[in-house]
Amino acid sequence: DGGITQSPKYLFRKEGQNVTLSCEQNLNHDAMYWYRQDPGQGLRLIYYSQIVNDFQKGDIVEGYSVSREKKESFPLTVTSAQKNPTAFYLCASSDIGRGSMNTEAFFGQGTRLTVV
């Protein structure tokens, strides 16, 4: 089945550690996104990528880094510079090939990161 796979579903991090969240898609979508979700704040865009080897900043980038070495993969690293990393992280992809603005995003099941 086509879709987006995020792993792990739950992740615990100690203070000062870097952790990497995995996101893989087999939908052949050009664009991929990382959102952070906190209670009562909706979803906030961290980074997005529209093409391999290129990515753009979203609204909240401090303490986060990404790479896009393959079309199907867009891992997110949460570094020790992120002061409040406990949140639910969602990866998404969309087919933006024709440049349309009415293209929906498809989401993975999320990774819940907790700092211990």
Partner 1 sequence: AQSVTQLGSHVSVSEGALVLLRCNYSSSVPPYLFWYVQYPNQGLQLLLKYTTGATLVKGINGFEAEFKKSETSFHLTKPSAHMSDAAEYFCAVPYNQGGKLIFGQGTELSVKP
**16 counts as binding partner 1 under rule CB under 8 A:** no
Q: How far apart are CA 23 and CA 40, in angstroms?
A: 24
Q: Please say which residue, 3 or 18, places its beta carbon nearer to partner 1.
A: 3
Contact 92, 106 (CB under 8 A): yes
C-beta of 17 vs 109, nearer to partner 1: 109
By residue count, the chain amounts to 116
**Which residues 6+ apart lie within 8 Å of 42 measured at CB?**
none
User: What is the footprint of partner 1 within residues 50-109 (CB under 8 A)?
Assistant: 50, 58, 88, 90, 92, 94-96, 99-109
Q: Quick one: 5 or 18, whose CB is closer to partner 1?
A: 5
* CB of residue 41 to partner 1, shortest distance in Å: 7
CB contact set of 56 (below 8 Å; sequence gap of 6+):
47, 48, 49, 50
- Nearest Cα neighbor of 53 from 82, 30, 27, 36 is 30
Least Å distance, CB 61 to partner 1, is 14
Binding site for partner 1 (CB under 8 A): 4, 6, 31, 33, 35, 40-43, 45, 48, 50, 58, 88, 90, 92, 94-96, 99-110, 112
